[in-house]
Structure 1
């Protein structure tokens, strides 16, 4: 049976006693103690289903390293608190369907705790087992920050391009994709998402009013009971995030993304968050991992806050 590895203790990198970093405040926990925290981090070192370039299996370690050295204080919202690390999900050998099934068995237990899970990926194929446990209990909408729609049909096996088709087949009520690029996803998949009542907000819809774009995405979900948020780092412009499976120009700026993540996290229906496709072997100067860690920090700062 798939399990969680023991998490390593976190430490900050600063020698200034006035510097409080995530490395100073993130504690280690188990499934039995997870409900003592607002948020639990979960690593998913896997890229066996990626359509593009592999490397995301190294994402969790890089994101933890960069987050550990990030200060906890948000200027408007104050410091982030009550975060624990559950370790990494042990990824079994075998095909993608087996991996998804094994991961889902653990994510179901994590969702059953009182904490909001933050999954550190890993490739986008794990979006399906990360969010699927929510479908058994509630109406669920997803907000996906992504350059692509990721609703391809499953052929031989699932891939990093199929998770939202799988989720819709399993009962996902609706999906809003923020930052999807022109000329990146074929007509058939745009038509499919439209048939499901989905919404696409390209980068031009974000520019100038990121908060308004998030409000539009959340409004498009209607009155669902739970909201799952996914961040594929390829939503950022390739200059800001070169270390992803499929970097492309014309994406969001880090400033736009951070503003939107803090705002979407303030929705009181948030039931989970993930960050996927951080691929350190493909990165340049740790830019992608650093942007990803800041994205996590901004999301955490917004949880439970005012919009």
Structure 2
């Protein structure tokens, strides 16, 4: 397991070797930038962009400590940066296995906080967590797409899987988690399947977990959304940035013509974590050419970095609640 620490530290965090993370570390930021699971290039530059724009959080301080104004606490207390995954692997299978081993090598109580990369990044991170934990956990997926395998009659044959790709990654994640452990939030309200498999789709989706489309009333009702999420559980959060409306996030493979606002997404994350315990997260599918410095792309990157910082602050805030991970 090796990482590249020649990159910009996220928000000026101290670098640490993933094999010897300091005692007391709460969470570890890691970049896993690849687009091998997508037909679109650009996601491999996600860690570069989010790391670069994160300088805005620390540029004015000689020794910076970022404070969450909502709680008055340090947003990154106990957090280190373990760099970007460095591997000679060039196939999707090889990179996913390297990612799984990378996360598995972190100390058990250190949360993996991953900057992707295309959405296939989620599978090896979740797999590594599931293998080392005794408590079950739920994945909350904020996404414009289901990323479930529902083509070619798959709802009627749920055990059949194509190799992992960004369009079916959550089917593979569900296989790891077990039935009912996936909550999909902000997805497009309609899905298209083959006519002869349509009757099987509702049961297939129920077996996966629950879907809360962008048009669902729970999106705007805090109490109802908290009921959907539940209380007292462990959750992993995966944010595909195309869940945001294209007006706020066009630097992604499939911008959403109708998506969540950034403020709504941050609020839903707060509601999901208010009564539950975060065990890790990823922010994926920021995609742009590495040389792109257009104002829109940089603004998109800043919004993506804010989502990442928001979750990172939750990881630090909940440090005292994690004694048995």
In 1: Cα distance, 2:228 partner to 2:86 partner: 33
8 Å contact kept, 1:45–1:91: no
Segment drifting more, 251-260 vs 84-93: 84-93
Question: 2:55 pairs with 68, 84, 87, which one?
Answer: 68
CA RMSD after TM alignment: 2.7
Partner of 1:228: 236
Partner of 1:148: 145
How many residues align? The count is 286
Partner of 2:259: 251
List aligned pairs for 1:176-215, cutoff 5 A.
176-183=183-190, 186=193, 191=202, 193-205=204-216, 207-209=219-221, 211-212=222-223, 214-215=225-226
In 2: Cα distance, 1:109 partner to 1:267 partner: 29
Question: 2:166 pairs with 160, 174, 191, which one?
Answer: 160
**Offset of residue 192 of structure 1:** 6.4
In 1: Cα distance, 2:251 partner to 2:311 partner: 21
1:211-262 deviations in Å (ceiling 9; x for gaps): 446514422xx765x3111000000001100000111211000110112223
List aligned pairs for 1:256-275, cutoff 5 A.
256-275=264-283
In 2: Cα distance, 1:192 partner to 1:46 partner: 34
Partner of 1:103: 99
Confirm whether residue 175 of structure 1 aligns to residue 182 of structure 2. yes
1:107-130 deviations in Å (ceiling 9; x for gaps): 1112x3422111000000111001
Partner of 1:36: 24
Instruction: Describe the shift of the 1:287–1:125 C-alpha distance in structure 2 as closer, same or farther (beyond 3 A).
Output: same
Confirm whether residue 299 of structure 1 aligns to residue 311 of structure 2. yes
Instruction: Describe the shift of the 1:271–1:207 C-alpha distance in structure 2 as closer, same or farther (beyond 3 A).
Output: closer
Instruction: Describe the shift of the 1:300–1:58 C-alpha distance in structure 2 as closer, same or farther (beyond 3 A).
Output: same
Segment drifting more, 84-93 vs 275-284: 275-284
Secondary structure at 1:89 match in 2 = strand
**Offset of residue 167 of structure 1:** 2.0
Partner of 1:17: none
In 2: Cα distance, 1:192 partner to 1:34 partner: 46
Partner of 1:6: 5
**Offset of residue 166 of structure 1:** 1.2
Secondary structure at 2:57 match in 1 = coil
Instruction: Describe the shift of the 1:208–1:165 C-alpha distance in structure 2 as closer, same or farther (beyond 3 A).
Output: closer
Secondary structure at 1:144 match in 2 = strand
- Give the gaps of 5 or more residues in structure 1: 12-21
Rg comparison, structure with higher value: 2
1:117-158 deviations in Å (ceiling 9; x for gaps): 110000001110011122223322110000111122642x32
Instruction: Describe the shift of the 1:291–1:268 C-alpha distance in structure 2 as closer, same or farther (beyond 3 A).
Output: same
Segment drifting more, 165-174 vs 118-127: 165-174
8 Å contact kept, 1:49–1:96: yes
8 Å contact kept, 1:146–1:233: yes
